[in-house]
Structure 1
Amino acid sequence: MEQKSKVSILVVPFPAQGHLNQLLHFSLLLSSRGFPVHYAATPTHVLQAKSRLQGWNPSSLHSIHFHSLPIPQFPNPPPDQNSTIKFPSHLFPAFKAFINIRAPLSSLLQTLSSASTRLVIVHDPLSSFAGKEADSLPNAESYNFQCLGAFFQLSFPQVSESFAELLRAHDLVLPARDSCRTKEFVEFVNRNYYDKEKSESSTIINTCMKLEGEFLELLRHEPDFVGKKIFAIGPVNPIAIPEGGHRHECLYWLDKQPEGSVLYLSFGSTTMLSENEVEQVAIGLVQSRQRFIWVLKSADRGNIFAEEAKETSSKLPPGFEKEVEGRGIVIRDWAPQLDILAHKSTGLFMSHCGWNSCMESLSMGVPIAAWPMHSDQPANALLVTKYLKVGVMVREWDRREELVMAKDIVEAINKIMVYDEGKEIKQRINTLGEAVRAAVSDGGFSNAALESFIAHITRC
């Protein structure tokens, strides 16, 4: 008779890159501690998560049990490049189809439950039905994994008086919630995912005390968190990149550049710059005279592997590539972001400020030029630039409907890489980066939180 595993772990991410990525990092952290870890998603998104993994030896994936759970086919529309609203509504068909994972997931839960003394389900808030399915199993317990920071979470569903007081103390003004998401998405979340009678006893957050200590303390007193454990274990991304193996060609180019001299530009996987924005960025890069790596690709479709998903409509101005030859690289495909941010030649990250990108940049000690697009990104940009003071804004959120001009892009770059104020920002991010890396090392706050979580799920 096959022996039961004492503790088995099932991870269920939401099918968007920032969520797939963080939960795969977390899965690998747990599997490296000897736990049998299962990762369940749609066939497309299992492949997406595996193909884009960075910072780990590829052989580490062999330690994870991947489960490709079937769902019906769904439309795969392209992003609207020139939409005035940056929220990725083109991904809705994939999001809606994802709900159908619930039935095969229930069968998987039954199988894993029967083979385990204790089954631990770790799910994204937008996969909360996994926790609901676990309620019927006598040996299962579920945990909410937050892919977003504590600062952003404190703004929903409404701002408490204690949070408002802290915001005033730091002279921070939150962006209006309705300006960051579409009404359709809010209705979708409320209808399908948000379970007001949450059964989770604990929450795991990809953040750390050194970044959000004040906000984590406040979060513990919020109604949804009172009486529950909060494990702030971030960053979940690796902080030491393994050497050897295949290297992207851009890294060989980086090897030849002076330390801290390269600007890295990437605006995430869910949105893309408009044609006019691409033109202004190109002009700004020419005028700035700085070295750069620019990731210029189409936003992800629901199925990134479909033939039509290989199309891209981002065209550079005539003569641009000749103008910057030798000084910059344009990458039209997926880029090794962790490797780029960890490289000593990278001196600035112009980013959309998705939480995954923020955590990677902060943990590598790279300042951020913030250009938020939607969702939590405006709040993250505020945290980075006004609270932590380790970055600058490319464009303030209340000017989001205006075209960002080349002169504003050059000014943001110069503030970090040319002007004296950049020296202070670099000094702060160097200190903060060291603190964040120390947090996940032996004796650090985040490492202790992970050990506490492990002790909790292995309790007698």
Structure 2
Amino acid sequence: MASPSITPLLPPMCSKPSLASKVGILPLSTPSTSSHVQGWNPSSLHSIHFHSLPIPPFPNPAPDHNSTIKFPSHLLPAYEAFVNIRGPLSSLLQTLSSTSTRLVIVHDPLSSFAGKEAESFPNAESYTYQCIASLYRLTFPQVSESTANLLRAHDLVLPTQDGCITEEVLDFVNRQLPFKNKTESGIIINSCKNLEGEFLELRRQELDYIGKKIFAIGPINPVMIQGGGHRHECLDWLDKQPDGSVLYLSFGSTMTLSEDQVEQLAIGIFQSRQRFIWVLRSADRGNIFAEEAKEAGYKLPAGFDKEVEGRGIVIRDWALQLDILAHKSTGLFMSHCGWNSCLESLSMGVPIAAWPMHSDQPVNSLLVTKYLKVGVMVREWDRREEIVAAKDIEEAINKVLVYEEGKEIKQRAKDLGEAVRGEVMDGGSSRAELDLFIDHITR
């Protein structure tokens, strides 16, 4: 008998598959997913076949470093082009359906057309993979009374959604709603009880979720890093630093800062006198392989490299974030608070200096700093259009790495990391729900 075929659909710029699978679908313009899977044993990829689907050419604009709204709107042409894979996807699913006992399609909300296509095959079922925090999902597009009551109980005040996303991108999102599959079999959530137990329970009570199976199996990222393979030189430098002493800074692959903000950040790092690893690179374009995607990058203040020599490293290319966060010398992560980055940091027990830029990040930063109390704010969301001064950056760094209050924050982060890692081990809630999912789709 043919075996079940699990098909995760990955939109442009997605760096790793959401589940162990038989078939991973990629647009032709994206890099190989297998080359970006980090932290897992390479042998685990042997059972995965990646199938590229063609998308038409699309404009490849540069990011606007000075935009007041930091959402990477320059990627919108790539998003628009991505929805054109629906035809080739249907053909592939037809082939897979004919050779499989059951065809299981896992897709993110903006790829809901994949779930719609699944309705055409009697042996197919689809699952939405939600790679956002449950707290954010409960607050977007509006807050229910039960959610508002829980927030009040914890004295949490939600940041405004103003400035989180551009009107053009919001229009694109709304145009995907008709594809939402009302007959989807369930939802896979990248979160866990020790991070968001109360919010997960509220989600199970939502009308959209009643009657559907929900599997909270996060964090998806590895929580134990496999050794071997190429080792970035920054890890050799980390080996020589005291435990918990290094600041790691990275704002993701699609985030951009103004030159003025980079200058203030450099000054703040220098004045803090702390050890650091700073990933400083331009935001990726929609097609990273195009010639125009190769940009010179940011300029640092004159003499910066010499002044911090031996105390810090500036990385101008892609970095092994999980390896850095898992290292015992890393003591603080200054982050835009994308949910994946939050999960990676918290699962490794590293506190976060939160600097939200767009989308769900203001809510994520609230969860990290006010609810879990494992981080500090670099800049409050209501000051999002201001340049963050060097002294404020220095203060945020020292709150965790120098001041007395930082000891409590670091201990809470360490304890939370142990609890989160336990979730995916035998006996943990995430492991149990993953087992339930596998049992369900192989029934």
TM range, normalised to the smaller chain?
A: over 0.9
Contact kept? 1:280, 1:404, Cα under 8 Å: yes
The unaligned stretches of length 5 or more in structure 2 are none
Structure 1 counterpart of 2:24: 39
Q: How does 1:198-213 map to 2 (within 5 A)?
A: 198-213=182-197
Q: CA deviation at 1:16?
A: 3.4
Alpha-carbon distance in structure 2 between the residues aligned to 1:392 and 1:181: 24
Q: CA deviation at 1:286?
A: 0.8
Structure 2 counterpart of 1:331: 315
Alpha-carbon distance in structure 1 between the residues aligned to 2:188 and 2:315: 34
Q: Deviations over 1:23-50 (max 9, x none)?
A: x1x33xx34xxxxx101020122x2533
Structure 2 counterpart of 1:215: 199
2:107 is aligned with 1:123 = yes
The unaligned stretches of length 5 or more in structure 1 are 32-36
* Candidates 45, 51, 58, aligned match of 1:74: 58
Q: Deviations over 1:379-432 (max 9, x none)?
A: 100000000000000000011011100000011001100111111111111110
Q: CA deviation at 1:134?
A: 0.4
Q: Deviations over 1:217-253 (max 9, x none)?
A: 0001112112212100001111111112110111111
Structure 2 counterpart of 1:34: none
Q: CA deviation at 1:193?
A: 4.3
Contact kept? 1:77, 1:301, Cα under 8 Å: yes
Alpha-carbon distance in structure 1 between the residues aligned to 2:12 and 2:289: 14
Alpha-carbon distance in structure 2 between the residues aligned to 1:156 and 1:194: 18
For the aligned residues, what is the CA RMSD?
1.2
The SS at the match of 1:322 is helix
The SS at the match of 1:335 is coil
Alpha-carbon distance in structure 2 between the residues aligned to 1:58 and 1:303: 26
Q: Aligned partner of 1:11: which letter? A: P
Alpha-carbon distance in structure 2 between the residues aligned to 1:144 and 1:429: 30
Structure 2 counterpart of 1:8: 5
Q: Deviations over 1:250-288 (max 9, x none)?
A: 111111111101000000111111101100010011100
Alpha-carbon distance in structure 1 between the residues aligned to 2:373 and 2:88: 46
Structure 2 counterpart of 1:364: 348
The SS at the match of 2:227 is coil
Structure 1 counterpart of 2:154: 170
Contact kept? 2:29, 2:55, Cα under 8 Å: no
Alpha-carbon distance in structure 2 between the residues aligned to 1:58 and 1:311: 31
Alpha-carbon distance in structure 2 between the residues aligned to 1:193 and 1:91: 19
Q: CA deviation at 1:187?
A: 1.0
Alpha-carbon distance in structure 1 between the residues aligned to 2:372 and 2:176: 35
Q: How does 1:135-214 map to 2 (within 5 A)?
A: 135-193=119-177, 195=179, 198-214=182-198
Q: Aligned partner of 2:9: which letter? A: V
Q: CA deviation at 1:135?
A: 0.3
Q: CA deviation at 1:82?
A: 1.6
Q: CA deviation at 1:175?
A: 1.9
2:411 is aligned with 1:427 = yes
TM-score between both structures, scaled by the size of structure 1: 0.94
Contact kept? 1:48, 1:304, Cα under 8 Å: no
Question: Structure 1 pair 254/180, CA: closer, same or farther in 2 (3 Å)?
Answer: same
Q: CA deviation at 1:6?
A: 2.4
2:434 is aligned with 1:450 = yes
Alpha-carbon distance in structure 2 between the residues aligned to 1:133 and 1:177: 32
2:212 is aligned with 1:228 = yes
Structure 1 counterpart of 2:336: 352
Q: CA deviation at 1:5?
A: 2.4
Contact kept? 1:123, 1:130, Cα under 8 Å: yes
Q: Aligned partner of 2:29: which letter? A: T
Q: Deviations over 1:22-78 (max 9, x none)?
A: xx1x33xx34xxxxx101020122x25333221123343332110110011111111
Alpha-carbon distance in structure 2 between the residues aligned to 1:267 and 1:56: 23
Q: How does 1:298-447 map to 2 (within 5 A)?
A: 298-447=282-431
Paired residue total: 443
The SS at the match of 1:11 is strand
The SS at the match of 1:350 is strand
Question: Structure 1 pair 273/315, CA: closer, same or farther in 2 (3 Å)?
Answer: same
Alpha-carbon distance in structure 2 between the residues aligned to 1:286 and 1:387: 30
Contact kept? 2:247, 2:275, Cα under 8 Å: yes
TM-score between both structures, scaled by the size of structure 2: 0.98
Contact kept? 2:113, 2:180, Cα under 8 Å: no
Q: Aligned partner of 2:8: which letter? A: V
The SS at the match of 1:285 is helix
Q: Aligned partner of 1:231: which letter? A: F
Structure 1 counterpart of 2:85: 101
Alpha-carbon distance in structure 2 between the residues aligned to 1:49 and 1:92: 21
Runs of 4+ in 1 over 6 A off after TM superposition: none
Q: Aligned partner of 2:388: which letter? A: V
Alpha-carbon distance in structure 2 between the residues aligned to 1:191 and 1:452: 33
Alpha-carbon distance in structure 2 between the residues aligned to 1:326 and 1:194: 55
Segment drifting more, 104-113 vs 221-230: 221-230
Q: CA deviation at 1:359?
A: 0.4
Q: Percent identity?
A: 73
